Amino acid sequence: MFPFSTFFPLLASLFLLTISTIHAQQTCNGHASLCTRKYSNITFIGAHNSAFVGDSPADNQGISVTAQLDSGIRFLQSQAHTNSFKTLSLCHTSCFLNDAGPLTEFLGTVKSWMDAHPAEVVSLLLGNGDRTDIVRYGEAFKSSGLDKMAYIPASHPLAFNAWPTLGEMIDAGRRLVVFMDYGADIQK
């Protein structure tokens, strides 16, 4: 029979080895197999007009942005316009029709979720129908802290096979991909 003083350290070592093995298995967006796949070779589930939550005819979603992300959505689309207070807001076609609030609040929600989920890559598609200067969007990203998470391509346009893997994006801390229409300029 083993004395307790010999058995306990052996059991503790086995436990620590098991825990470290579990933590060493990296997952990316919930799956280890995605860590070695290029961003450009992955299909992401998305939510159209993700910020417009409610029951009105101008709303598209029934659950909050956080709940959408918790449910597996990794591609959030929305549109921003300058409202009557000159604030960059998420507005459905027109700020008079549906104003879901300032862009900075939406980005703050995304940032909070990404902070709590460090092994996830998220994409945003922002419509810029008013052709607002890209600098205003940059200010919103900086204010929310998402600017530090944004992936910035090495070249433009970026070839299909030049995208990093999800694992590389996560390791670099650049795990937010932002697409934008009208006025997108990665130099700004």
Catalytically active residues, by annotation: 48, 92
CB 126 within 8 A of CB 182: no
Read off the tokens for 178: 């932002």
Amino acid letter, 165 = T
Measured from the Cβ of residue 153, the count of other Cβ atoms closer than 10 Å reads 13
13 Rama class: left (phi>0) / alpha (psi -120 to 50) / beta:
alpha
Measured from the Cβ of residue 179, the count of other Cβ atoms closer than 10 Å reads 12
What is the residue-wise DSSP string for 48-109? TTTT-BSSSTT--BSS-HHHHHHTT--EEEEEEEE-TTS-EEEESSSTTT-EEEEHHHHHHH
